[in-house]
Amino acid sequence: MSALTQTSFNFPGQQGVYHGKVRDVYHLDGRLVMVATDRISAFDVILPEGIPYKGQVLNQIAAQFLDATADICPNWKLATPDPMVTVGLVCEGFPVEMIVRGYLCGSAWRAYKSGVREICGVRLPEGMKENEKFPTPIITPTTKAEIGEHDEDISKEEILARGLATPEEYALLEKYTLALFQRGTEIAAQRGLILVDTKYEFGKHNGEIYLMDEIHTPDSSRYFYAEGYEERLAKGEPQKQLSKEFVREWLLSNGFQVHGAADQKVPEMTPEVVKSISDRYIELYEHITGTTFEPAPADNVLARIEQNVTEYLTK
């Protein structure tokens, strides 16, 4: 298996390119060509090895959920000319990520266990257990960090005070966030999964708020298996989950420090580790879509993408 970790396309009408943590975004006049590479990041660090088929998994799950939620709010997607590519509208993004949590786990649990009872201005109930469901989903936004920097928690009040969104805009962001999470929860339940938490990014296009980027993928979301959830919770056992959390846990168990030095060494990613991560991404794809994953031809991925996107742009 080979992984696509770098791109340097020159598409018709291309005006520039931005290489993000995992996606390469090519700017055209009024449109974006977003290539989901096989790079993988955790704790805001890009790991040294790519994960075969990860880009295809993320792109195809996101495309399916963008289509399945288009009645809730407008989104940026125009087309998916290649399994690893989405073409969409240019939006001016809000500099915050809307994180919504239905359950107490991950970084929120780590904070809660240390005694924290308020996250992003939201009060948390006393006496909760790890992986327990909140009475109602909570929104805990973060700032949108540049590469190499960490996202920072931010409250609704801070967002408004800093002018990152108007009160009217933020009210709509909250409304869309909760509605999208509810739809994602319903779809996950049909597949025997629990949508635990996720993040959404929004921007403005022609003065209207649009949903941007990927949604409900294992990079932006956490899923539990519904079967056995209650039993594991009652026994205080770890939940069986499908998300990128297992990558974070692998890093931490191998000596990686969340807030360590910027140049700290990432543990060795052996072929076995890489394959296990790839298998987990494919597993989530098949669970959340209810369909068998069909790997795209991988003999010359760069040429395939260039041909498919160029044909779409010039048709």
User: What is the pLDDT of the chain when averaged over all its residues?
Assistant: 93
Look at residue 39 and tell me whether its pLDDT is greater than 80.
Answer: yes
Query: Which DSSP string corresponds to 259-294?
Result: T--TTPPPPP--HHHHHHHHHHHHHHHHHHHSS---
- Which pair of structure tokens corresponds to residue 68? 């399945």
Q: Which residue has the higher pLDDT, 174 or 265?
A: 174
Residues 39 and 52: their CA atoms lie apart, in Å, by: 9
Q: How confident is the model at residue 262 (pLDDT cuts 50, 70, 90)?
A: low
pLDDT of residue 244: 78
Three-class secondary structure of residue 48 per DSSP:
coil
The percent of residues in the chain predicted with pLDDT above 70, rounded, is 97
Q: How confident is the model at residue 56 (pLDDT cuts 50, 70, 90)?
A: very high
**Total number of residues shown for the chain:** 315
pLDDT of residue 226: 96
pLDDT of residue 146: 62
Q: How confident is the model at residue 298 (pLDDT cuts 50, 70, 90)?
A: confident
12-23 pLDDT per residue, tens: 999 999 999 899
| Strand bridging mode 122-123 / 92-93 | unpaired
pLDDT of residue 102: 98
Q: Please give the domain boundaries of the chain with CATH numbers for all domains.
A: 16-92+269-314 (3.30.200.20), 93-245 (3.30.470.20)
Measuring CA to CA, how many Å separate 165 from each of 53, 87, 175, 239? Answer: 36, 26, 14, 36
pLDDT of residue 150: 65
pLDDT of residue 229: 98
191-211 pLDDT per residue, tens: 999 999 999 999 999 999 999
Helix axes 54-68, 271-289, angle to 10 degrees: 20
Place of tokens 């966030």: 177
pLDDT of residue 44: 78
Measured over the CA atoms of residue 55, residue 218, residue 266 and residue 148, the dihedral's sign is positive
Q: Which residue has the higher pLDDT, 244 or 270?
A: 270
pLDDT of residue 241: 84
Residues 131 and 161: their CA atoms lie apart, in Å, by: 32
Q: How confident is the model at residue 72 (pLDDT cuts 50, 70, 90)?
A: very high
Residues 126 and 135: their CA atoms lie apart, in Å, by: 12
Query: Which DSSP string corresponds to 182-196?
Result: HHHHHHHHHTTEEEE
115-153 pLDDT per residue, tens: 999 999 999 999 999 999 999 999 999 998 665 556 789
Q: How confident is the model at residue 258 (pLDDT cuts 50, 70, 90)?
A: confident
Q: How confident is the model at residue 35 (pLDDT cuts 50, 70, 90)?
A: very high
Number of H helices and E strands in the chain, helices first, is: 8, 17
